[in-house]
Amino acid sequence: MDCLNITMKENDSFIKEYTNHNADILQFFTYDPNKTESYKKRMAYRNNGREQAVAAVVREYMSDLALTQSQLDNITALSEGAKVVVGGQQAGLFTGPLYTFHKILSILTKADELSSEYNERVVPIFWIAGEDHDFDEVDHTYVMNQRSGQLNKVKYHTMTPPETTVSRYTPDREALHHALVQFFESMPETVHSKRLFDQVDNMIQQSTTWLDVFKQMIQLCFGERGILLIDAQDTQLRSIEKPLFKDIIQRHASVDQAFRDVQRKTTEAGLTAMIQTDTNVHLFLHEDDQRQLLTYADGVFKLSKSENTYSMEALIALLDESPERFSNNVVTRPLMQEWLFNTVAFVGGPSEIKYWAELQGVFELFDVQMPIVLPRMRMTYLTSSTEKLLKKYDLTLEEVMETGTQPARERFIRANASEVVLAQIEAMQDQHQAFYETLTQEMSDTEDNKNLVKKNQEIQMYQLDFLKSRYLNNIARENEISMRHFEVLTQTLHPMGGLQERVWNPLQILNENGLDVYASTTFPPLHYTFDQIIIKL
């Protein structure tokens, strides 16, 4: 395995501008992620005093896993006040897209770099977003059939999708097993397939909640590298969070005003408003087996899916009694995360970082300093067979990753077609165009004549377009193998019109390369970069 960095053209320039010191963007963040001074200040920033309580919760949450020595050492360091690098993600089916793993690799890499640079342990924390309830975002994944080059959607099917948080959802094991079978049917069998399938299927059979397989897969791939896990919806964590929940409830109007004031400033600075919400409380309450958004109106707190209301006093009393029923929305979740941990850097994707730009005022309201907000590293996997196809069709990696293979496919078909045939068809199209222009000038300018010429022209031009299209399609069919090669390249390097890591699932990489592919002894050493990383398998 080896890796190299490349620079790609990007449709969305936000991250590029953010990491290149654009003052219009950086004004909404406390630190510039590119400056050494930012890390120096953040490493020296005062601790919040909650490290022992948080470490105890992390230890308990991970107690069902066979912890490695590096994880045990990190839990100890966390309890003793070690700074952390943190990032999180929803629990997708079989971990969801590859960028979940790349976020973990980003957290591990930055924690290792800071530990080495400052000669003190910096702990990597992965925050599982178990409080989320948008199940349709996590109930599916994709697998590429490498024989056909087709991208297949694999979905966990249920007649009763949960309306509660995914942490509380108990999935149907048989349905999960069926999804796993579907996934593996689309992949070629390798020397690793049986062991991988059995491992994941065993996780399914041992699972109770939706998060369990996700949690175990992360432990399998990254446990030896010391990653620590916590579920945002963990009951014991909620008990620690009670003071901040109470403060948010009591100051909800100020929280909402602080958020909306900064969001207005971001839009005035030319950024797109990211957080769309009608609530003015920015918290959820679990009631009637549903995660319901709270809003404040007419002197009471109202629920989004029931008629129940709460006074301020009643809601705080409920918080004291059952803090696990409360959860954050997108506005207050980052605040809660930073209130809990002594964070040097938060690792996020492009959309997350845009969200954080709108929360500057919320952090300031609670005297919680925003940490360094660090874009996660981006990675694409390149096999020798893919490299051979690129070379065979004289394509560069960058052009296929940016635009796919459609232009190359069209060039190939054109090159294998008869230029005489194509030239004759195109000449005939030009002649027809001139012919109908002459008719239009010579015929009387009545509505009937206009319609007659227009309709006849459409029929004739359609037939010529059809002739050319069918001829080129025939050329494509005659070169079926090459067409499949172009499709394989597209679905490998530009699936669904984007980056591989946003579509492919880690199981695809594990199936080809083994369960230890992400181990520190196997995976190539990484250095934190904002360029695109190419992992050569």
Q: How would you write the pLDDT of the chain (537 residues) with one tens digit per residue?
A: 889 999 888 778 899 999 999 999 999 999 999 999 999 999 999 999 999 999 999 999 999 999 999 999 999 999 999 999 999 999 999 999 999 999 999 999 999 999 999 999 999 999 999 998 889 999 999 999 877 889 999 999 998 888 888 999 999 999 999 999 999 999 999 999 999 999 999 999 999 999 999 999 999 999 999 999 999 999 999 999 999 999 999 999 999 999 999 999 999 999 999 999 999 999 999 999 999 999 999 999 999 999 999 999 999 999 999 999 999 999 999 999 999 999 999 999 999 999 999 999 999 999 999 999 999 999 999 999 999 999 999 999 999 999 999 999 999 999 999 999 999 999 999 998 999 889 888 888 888 888 888 999 899 999 999 999 999 999 999 999 999 999 999 999 999 999 999 999 999 999 999 999 999 999 999 999 999 999 999
CA 421 to chain centre: 47
Query: Within 10 Å of residue 5's Cβ, how many Cβ atoms?
Result: 12
Contact 142, 491 (CB under 8 A): no
Cα-atom radius of gyration of the chain, to the nearest Å?
A: 28
pLDDT computed for residue 74 by the predictor = 98
The encoded tokens of residue 99 equal 């960028």
Alpha-carbon distance of 332 to 363, in angstroms, equals 9
pLDDT computed for residue 161 by the predictor = 82
Mapping DSSP to helix (H, G, I), strand (E, B) and coil, where does residue 326 land?
Answer: strand
- CB neighbour class for 384 (10 Å; exposed up to 12, middle 13-18, buried from 19): exposed
Contact 505, 151 (CB under 8 A): no
pLDDT computed for residue 197 by the predictor = 98
CA dihedral (159, 165, 169, 174) in degrees, to 10, reads 60
Which long-range CB contacts under 8 A does 433-437 form with residues at least 24 apart? 433/461
Contact 97, 141 (CB under 8 A): yes
Burial 391-422 (b: 16+ CB within 10 A, else e): eebebebebbbeebbeebbeebbeeebeeeee
pLDDT computed for residue 1 by the predictor = 85
Measured at the CA of 147, the angle between CA 176 and CA 490, to 5 degrees, comes to 95
> Structure pTM?
0.94
Contact 237, 340 (CB under 8 A): yes
Alpha-carbon distance of 3 to 16, in angstroms, equals 21
